[in-house]
Amino acid sequence: GNSVTQMEGPVTLSEEAFLTINCTYTATGYPSLFWYVQYPGEGLQLLLKATKADDKGSNKGFEATYRKETTSFHLEKGSVQVSDSAVYFCALRHPNTGNQFYFGTGTSLTVIP
């Protein structure tokens, strides 16, 4: 079946450090891949997406590349800020399963000044 695995947290970084949050997926065919961000007390917000192999999604300095050969969609940012502190969720959407979304368990990021 379809599933998403992302790295365990929590992750604590100093401001301006480089961020990587790993995400791998299991699915047949060609799902669409997403990263969502959840700030404290709020719902999830779409951060970026990629719909086919080798696509790179980017937004607010975050990037992720859809790697079919390694079934991965790692989230990266070159220089994190305190305001990036949040929980990040990797997700996939597969048209063969009624467009249901499958979410990872989330990775908590804290950025300290």
Structure token pair of residue 21: 């949050």
Q: Which is nearer to another protein, 65 or 108 (CB)?
A: 108
**SS3 track for 39-103:** CCCCCEEEEEEECCCCCEEEECCEEEECECCCCECCEEECCCCHHHCEEEEEEEEEHHHCCEEEE
Half-sphere exposure of residue 43, counting CA atoms within 13 Å on the CB side? 2
Q: Which of 10, 29, 40, 43 forms a contact with another protein (CB under 8 A)?
A: 43
Q: Which of 46, 53, 82, 112 forms a contact with another protein (CB under 8 A)?
A: 46
Q: Which of 29, 40, 99, 113 forms a contact with another protein (CB under 8 A)?
A: 99
Binding mask 50-89 for another protein (x = CB under 8 A): -x-------------------------------------x
Q: Which one of the spans 16-24, 59-67, 71-79, 91-99 is the region binding another protein (CB under 8 A)? A: 91-99
Alpha carbons 113 and 106: distance in angstroms, whole number: 23
Q: Which residues bind another protein (CB under 8 A)?
A: 34, 36, 42-46, 49, 51, 89, 93, 98-101, 103-106
